[in-house]
């Protein structure tokens, strides 16, 4: 076995936004992404879960290089992108592509499918001839389970599931190595959801694609993920293999998420942890551990000191250097909590 | 007498391309204290059928029904005055799109107090007090402060909860909740479902819950009605529905749940729901059904019973998930095997 180096390494990525709430108030800073570190290997899926507003889409935009990080570094395929370096970004942009949740909003209604698929080639592969582009677009339609004659139709002629296939086809036109999937099946019916998830599994196998898979549906995550990152208020609070997170969740917040997720089995005995309070604002995050105002284990230490993300098995070893991660598999279980629910 | 009894509800829309039947002869009976879930693919007529009951469809809709009775009142023949006292008070609805049903020009407090004013005889102070209590019940932090907010100043999830507060404001006998928790995080969803079930338990409110989330169905509903392309294809109590679905569509839907997959691939249903122009003859599910028989393409199935399940299918599945026609073949084989065992036993006995 060859020990492959990770395709994507994120080291303490942040993304802040400045917002003004009124003409005379001074601008405030939204800490949408407040320091995320992770690695992602070719052919693997890292799922990102967490409440609405915890920074999942912000992370997606930073990894896709639609936005640059406020601080931290992103290394893709061995090339490092820093906040103020746009040349590396341009070179890497086609290796990471994104698919959004909304199959209606993400396609231009006035463009035919062929045009939609070819646009990335027109921009990024100017030397390609029109014939080559069309051939590639038609191939891609077949690959995602559509028919070549769909080439000259408009998006409104397609169902939600078909539009999501088109969005996936478009994302694959530049032969990326990483696909960022931001809630790719949330708008779809169960029967269509499974068609799309199967397609994603097949494409991953065929092209050894790495997926950053964002979803709020834990049953979908459990099915798709190799690794899982649980985020709270812009930061990962627990990361690990799928089994570690689903079977041995140690962070109180992960426990809450798992216990709140309804199980599609009426005989299942629910044992629910009910949380009070809302996700706090990333403009004014709580002191110490961001989860402490809602946590039943919180004490004065939690109020004062932010816990570091550290190995669950070997406490006392913060991963300050995730760019030199332990061997694959050993990265398994990290959490940021003073009082893990072991 | 049932609280709500609907028989043969049909809704047709006038469209540029002719009449479109969005709801096709649906039956629904709800008793006091029931929790009935309605599930089904997008566009299967779940919202339209409930909006028809509430009298909230546009003029382009033609509604017909053999029976449509709520709490002794014929919903089809309500006077304007009766309508005001029943709809919104005894029978209330949480709408699928919260933003379109809240008025952006008024604070949420004003809107909640207005609905209390229309339906209940409360003083100003009582109304304010009740409004605070309601927002607290739906889990909005700092309710007094939120009452002064306009809808655009709240998040989608918060507006959704304001809608819920308005719907339960007058302690309805029947609450129709159309995807009440879809926009909410699981942590808040758990809180809201708990609240709805509590209302049902403590004040005997009946709840019709429209949802696409089979987890929510499993945890909340007592009875489930499954819709496909405007028709009700199956209805059963929740336990047998998950354990032994009778309609091939229900069975395929449950098989597509990621929780039920064993390998890298999920079971899926090929094809899509028929639209206005490609409705097949015979059974509407026939183009996608894995148990389809020649009869299914020719003849429209009628509602039949299978121990406790009502099902719209020529060949309902038995408790082992086999279609009726296969069971007939199988049973005759079984009989052969049985008689063979008998012979063996007899032989054995003789030795
Ligand atoms: N361009 C922006 N300007 C200001 N604030 C922003 C901007 N984009 C996002 N935010 C804020 O950053 C936080 C994280 O947003 P983000 O969209 O990443 O969350 P999310 O986890 O994707 O949520 P959801 O599950 O609802 O999609 C939120 O508080 C959001 O309001
Ligand atoms: N005002 C209208 N005019 C014409 N057709 C309509 C109208 N309202 C709804 N429809 C159609 O009626 C059908 C049923 O719609 P309905 O909203 O009841 O579906 P649903 O089961 O609630 O779906 P979803 O799960 O997406 O909410 C759809 O095909 C829809 O396009
Ligand atoms: S660190 Fe403290 S407050 Fe934070 S999750 Fe752990 S126990 Fe709770
Ligand atoms: Mg998002
Ligand atoms: Mg609906």
Q: Where are the domains of chain A?
A: 8-110+154-335, 111-153
Q: Are the beta carbons of B212 and A189 separated by less than 8 Å?
A: yes
Q: How many CB atoms lie within 10 A of CB A66?
A: 12
Q: Express each pLDDT in B52-77 by its tens digit.
A: 999 999 999 999 999 999 999 999 88
Residue B152 touches partner A, C-beta closer than 8 Å:
no
Spatial neighbors of B133 by CB under 8 A, at least 6 apart, are B143
pLDDT recorded at residue B305: 94
Nearest to B138 by CA among B184, B91, B207: B184
**Is residue B339 predicted with pLDDT exceeding 70?**
no
Q: Which residue has the tokens 């906040």?
A: A83
Q: Express each pLDDT in B283-336 by its tens digit.
A: 999 999 999 999 999 999 999 999 889 999 999 999 999 988 765 554 444 444
Q: Are the beta carbons of B190 and A197 separated by less than 8 Å?
A: no
Residue of A190, A192, A204 to mutate, testing the B interface (most B Cβ within 10 Å of its Cβ): A190
* A56 Cα: distance to centroid of ligand 4 (angstroms): 5
Q: Are the beta carbons of A274 and B190 separated by less than 8 Å?
A: yes
**Is residue A82 predicted with pLDDT exceeding 50?**
yes
Provide the CB-side half-sphere exposure for B152 (13 A, CA): 4
Q: Express each pLDDT in A193-231 by its tens digit.
A: 999 999 999 999 999 999 999 999 999 999 999 999 999
**Beta partners for B40?**
B227
pLDDT recorded at residue A40: 96
pLDDT recorded at residue B120: 86
Residues near ligand 1 (Cβ within 6 A): A 17, 19, 30, 32, 52-58, 282
CA distance linking residue A175 with residue A173, whole number of Å: 5
**Token digits for A80?**
């490092």
pLDDT recorded at residue A331: 53
Q: Considering only alpha carbons, which residue of chain B is nearest residue A277?
A: B141
Q: Output the residue whose Cα is nearest ligand 1's atom 1.
A: A17
Between vectors from CA A16 to CA A12 and to CA A19, what angle results, nearest 5°? 170
Q: Which residue has the tokens 């890497």?
A: A92
Q: Look up residue B16 and give its DSSP letter.
A: T
Q: Express each pLDDT in A11-49 by its tens digit.
A: 999 999 998 876 777 888 999 999 999 999 999 999 999
Q: Are the beta carbons of A190 and B219 separated by less than 8 Å?
A: no
State the average pLDDT over residues B99-105.
Answer: 83
Secondary structure (DSSP) of B170-228? T--SEEEEESTTTTS-HHHHHHHHHHHHHHHHHH--EEEEE-S-HHHHHHH-SEEEEEE
Q: Express each pLDDT in A45-59 by its tens digit.
A: 999 999 999 999 999
**Beta partners for A47?**
A213, A228
Quote the radius of gyration of chain A (alpha carbons, Å).
Answer: 21
Crossing angle for the helix pair B108-119 and B124-137, nearest 10 degrees? 120
* B45 Cα: distance to centroid of ligand 2 (angstroms): 6
pLDDT recorded at residue B326: 62
Q: Are B8 and B65 in contact (CB under 8 A)?
A: yes
Q: Express each pLDDT in A136-147 by its tens digit.
A: 999 999 999 888
Q: What are phi and psi of A80, to 5 degrees?
A: -100, 135
Q: Which fold has domain A8-110+154-335?
A: Rossmann fold (3.40.50)
Residue A265 touches partner B, C-beta closer than 8 Å:
yes
Spatial neighbors of B335 by CB under 8 A, at least 6 apart, are none
CA distance linking residue B144 with residue B17, whole number of Å: 50
Atom of ligand 1 nearest to the CA of A60: 18
ipTM score of complex: 0.86
Spatial neighbors of B209 by CB under 8 A, at least 6 apart, are B35, B36, B37, B38, B177, B180, B196, B216, B217, B220, B221
Residue A335 CA: distances (Å) to CA of A167, A243, A303, B266: 35, 14, 17, 31
Q: Express each pLDDT in A97-151 by its tens digit.
A: 999 987 777 889 999 999 999 999 999 999 999 999 999 999 999 999 888 889 9
Nearest to B289 by CA among B259, B337, B247, B229: B247
């Amino acid at each position: 076995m060859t020990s492959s180096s990770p395709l994507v390494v994120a080291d303490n990525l942040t993304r802040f936004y400045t917002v003004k709430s009124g003409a005379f108030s001074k601008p405030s800073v939204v800490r949408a992404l407040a320091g995320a570190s992770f690695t992602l290997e070719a052919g693997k899926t890292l799922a990102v879960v967490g409440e609405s507003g915890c920074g999942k889409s912000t992370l997606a935009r930073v990894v896709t290089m639609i936005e640059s990080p406020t601080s931290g570094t992103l290394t893709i395929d061995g090339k490092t992108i820093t906040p103020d370096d746009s040349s590396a970004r341009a070179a890497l942009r086609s290796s990471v592509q994104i698919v959004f949740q909304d199959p209606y909003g993400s396609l231009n209604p006035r463009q035919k499918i062929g045009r939609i698929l070819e646009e990335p080639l027109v921009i990024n592969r100017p030397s390609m001839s029109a014939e080559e582009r069309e051939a590639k677009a038609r191939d891609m339609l077949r690959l995602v389970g559509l028919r070549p004659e769909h080439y000259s139709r408009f998006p409104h002629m397609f169902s939600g599931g078909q539009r999501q296939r088109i969005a996936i086809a478009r994302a694959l036109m530049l032969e990326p190595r990483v696909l960022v999937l931001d809630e790719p099946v949330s708008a779809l019916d169960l029967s269509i959801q499974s068609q799309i998830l199967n397609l994603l599994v097949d494409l991953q196998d065929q092209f050894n694609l790495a997926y950053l898979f964002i979803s709020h549906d834990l049953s979908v995550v459990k099915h798709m993920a190799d690794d899982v990152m649980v985020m709270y208020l812009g930061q990962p609070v627990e990361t690990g293999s799928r089994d570690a997170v689903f079977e041995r969740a140690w962070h109180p917040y992960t426990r809450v998420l798992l216990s709140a997720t309804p199980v599609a089995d009426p005989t299942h005995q629910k044992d629910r942890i009910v949380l009070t309070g809302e996700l706090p604002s990333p403009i004014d995050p709580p002191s110490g551990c961001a989860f402490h105002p809602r946590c039943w284990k919180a004490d004065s230490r939690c109020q004062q000191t932010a816990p570091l993300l550290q190995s669950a098995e070997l406490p006392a070893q913060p991963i300050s250097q995730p760019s030199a991660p332990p061997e694959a598999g050993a990265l398994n279980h990290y959490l940021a909590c003073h009082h893990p629910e072991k | 007498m049932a609280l709500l009894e609907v028989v043969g509800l049909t809704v047709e829309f006038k469209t540029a391309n002719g009449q479109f039947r969005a709801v096709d002869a649906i039956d629904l009976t709800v008793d006091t204290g029931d929790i009935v879930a309605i599930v089904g693919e997008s566009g299967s007529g779940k919202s339209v059928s409930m909006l028809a009951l509430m009298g909230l469809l546009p003029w382009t809709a033609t509604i017909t029904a053999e029976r449509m009775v709520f709490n002794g009142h014929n919903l089809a023949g309500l006077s304007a005055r009766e309508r005001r006292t029943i709809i919104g008070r005894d029978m209330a609805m949480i709408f699928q799109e919260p933003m379109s049903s809240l008025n952006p020009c008024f604070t949420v407090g004003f809107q909640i107090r207005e609905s209390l004013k229309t339906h209940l005889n409360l003083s100003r102070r009582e109304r304010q007090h009740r409004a605070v209590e309601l927002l607290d019940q739906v889990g909005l932090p700092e309710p007094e402060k939120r009452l002064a907010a306009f809808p655009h100043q709240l998040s989608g999830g918060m507006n959704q909860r304001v809608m819920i507060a308005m719907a339960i404001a007058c302690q309805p006998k029947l609450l129709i909740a159309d995807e009440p928790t879809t926009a909410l995080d699981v942590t808040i969803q758990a809180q809201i479902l708990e609240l709805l079930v509590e209302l049902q338990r403590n004040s005997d409110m009946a709840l019709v819950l429209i949802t696409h989330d089979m987890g929510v169905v499993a945890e909340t509903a007592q009875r489930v009605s499954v819709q496909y392309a405007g028709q009700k294809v199956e209805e059963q109590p929740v336990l047998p529905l998950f354990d032994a679905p009778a309609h091939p569509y229900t069975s395929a839907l449950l098989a597509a749940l990621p929780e039920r997959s064993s390998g890298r691939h999920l079971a899926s249903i090929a094809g899509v729901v028929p639209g206005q122009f490609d409705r097949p003859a015979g059974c509407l599910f026939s183009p996608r059904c894995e148990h389809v028989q020649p009869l299914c393409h020719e003849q429209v199935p009628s509602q039949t019973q299978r121990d406790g399940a009502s099902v719209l299918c020529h060949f309902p599945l038995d408790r082992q998930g086999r279609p009726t026609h296969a069971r007939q073949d199988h049973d005759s084989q079984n009989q052969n095997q049985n008689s063979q065992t008998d012979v063996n036993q007899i032989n054995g006995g003789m030795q």
